[in-house]
Amino acid sequence: MDVTVAGGLCGALFGYDTGIVSAALVQMSPQLALTDAQAERYVAVAVLCAAVGAPLGSWLSSVGGRRKTLLLAAVMFWVTAIVTALASTWRTLFAMRMGIGLAVGIVASVAPVYLAECVSMQERGPVIASYNLYINAGQLGAALVGAAFANNQQSGWRFMLGLAAVPSALLVAQLVFVLPESPLWLRAQAEKHASGGALVAVPESEDSAPSLQPHGWWAQFVAKWVPRDSQTLSALFLGCFLHFVQQGSGINCVMYYTGTIMSRILGFTASTAIWLNAVVASFNSSFAFVGVFVTRRHPRRTVTICSLAGVAASLLLLVYSFYYPARACSKLVSIVGLCAYLACFASGMGPMPWLINSEIYPSGMRHLAGTATSVNWMTNYVVASTFLTSVQRFGPAPVFGAYFCVAVTGLAVLGFALPETKHFSVLHSGSQQQVERWEIRSSESDDEDHDHDERNDE
């Protein structure tokens, strides 16, 4: 239970710090006289730093432990929140946003792995789905906080950004006084120390030619970070592609810029736009509960494909509404499309890339999840740093049309390549079990998973 609460706080901080910028920008932009390019940079720098923080977090957690790495991120969340609330210059705000991005990237790569290693196989799916639920809850909390300070035009955005210090302080206290280290990481360290921390050479057969292998630190780097078998490479491709589709289908243009969409594109006033942002965000949070339920009851593959199909349909609805803005119902259709998009996304495509990435790698290569997380943040960066200027240049309909194309491409690829991973143990070695994973037909995998659930129900 303590681990689940810590995962919840990590997710809530992740969600709050990425979601609050949507409401804060509505007040910050006119007060600080920000151009569209500056607003994009403020949003995108956190994403870019998160792309750096993800592999950094994976490396730190591999060397120093999952718990200590999460503690570092929690302290960074607390410091950046306090300094942001008191900042008096644009440079300070920008620098703190960079720190927030690093902390978010660390949490995004380490927290799902930590949770997966601390719970049983039966609990793993619901626990990591709950982590995603808390991300959505943090985003909803950010929208509600933004609405609460919507009429405080002078300093409301300072309260919005500074209140992240409260959950971050709670997370620091829990990591220091309550939570244990990952048992699998401790076991790996014990095995490493038992072998003297050295790489063991593999003897070659008598009739094989001797191969030149790198030695020293380079050999250790290659052995740890470069997958050399086709199954692990397939897993890495799948993990990276899942995160690419998750972000490339436009989720964070909705999360970061809903307030801006409401005010600039749909023509609502600033205070009304902030309140509508809270309404839209409530769908994201509410349907995250659906994600927890379907993760427990249904195959990962089915949930992912159905969710992505709903995302594509919602994007098509948004393209229609933005293409015909003069029609009387266009505003209503746009709001419905945004709500439907978040409902479909939160119930499947929100948690599934994180969950599947915690399951598909061999135990010795699980840190590769950080590479997939970097793809997530780099795609997020491209979306966040181009949305406003792309809308200004091409209009909202073509931009959301591009996100629709990514979603449809994802449906085609994942429909062919995505296996079922629900009953894999995080202790698997990546040998025969992993080979079977990539060779089994998707339909057979779904049937077996359905039979397994029926036996559990009986």
DSSP 57: H
- Rounded distance, CA 159 to CA 152, Å? 10
pLDDT at residue number 215? 42
- Rounded distance, CA 389 to CA 383, Å? 11
pLDDT at residue number 453? 52
Q: What are the backbone angles phi and psi of residue 102, rounded to the nearest 5°?
A: -60, -45
Token digits of residue 261 = 């969409």
Exposure string of 179-212, with b = 16+ CB inside 10 Å and e = fewer, is bebbebbeebeeeeeeeeeeeeeeeeeeeeeeee
Residue 389: name the closest of 41, 128, 31 by CA.
41
**Does pLDDT of 324 surpass 60?**
yes
**Does pLDDT of 404 surpass 90?**
yes
pLDDT at residue number 407? 95
CA 312 vs CA 85, 98, 240: distances in Å:
38, 32, 20
pTM: 0.66
Count Cβ atoms below 10 Å from residue 92 Cβ, excluding itself. Answer: 13
**Does pLDDT of 310 surpass 90?**
yes
Instruction: Provide mean pLDDT across the span 392-398.
Output: 89
Token digits of residue 126 = 């619901």
- Rounded distance, CA 405 to CA 407, Å? 5
Q: What confidence tens digit (pLDDT) does each residue in 199-256 have?
A: 444 343 433 333 334 444 434 444 554 555 667 777 888 888 999 999 999 988 887 7
Token digits of residue 426 = 């995080």
The amino acid that residue 126 corresponds to is: P
Q: What confidence tens digit (pLDDT) does each residue in 86-135 have?
A: 887 888 889 999 999 999 889 888 888 888 777 777 677 677 767 777 88
Q: What are the backbone angles phi and psi of residue 213, rounded to the nearest 5°?
A: -110, 140
Going along the chain from its start, the domains and CATH numbers come out as 2-182+228-457 (1.20.1250.20)
- Burial status of residue 270 (CB atoms within 10 A of its CB: 0-12, 13-18, 19 or more): middle
- Burial status of residue 154 (CB atoms within 10 A of its CB: 0-12, 13-18, 19 or more): exposed
The amino acid that residue 419 corresponds to is: P
- Rounded distance, CA 379 to CA 9, Å? 25
Residue with tokens 């921390």: 197
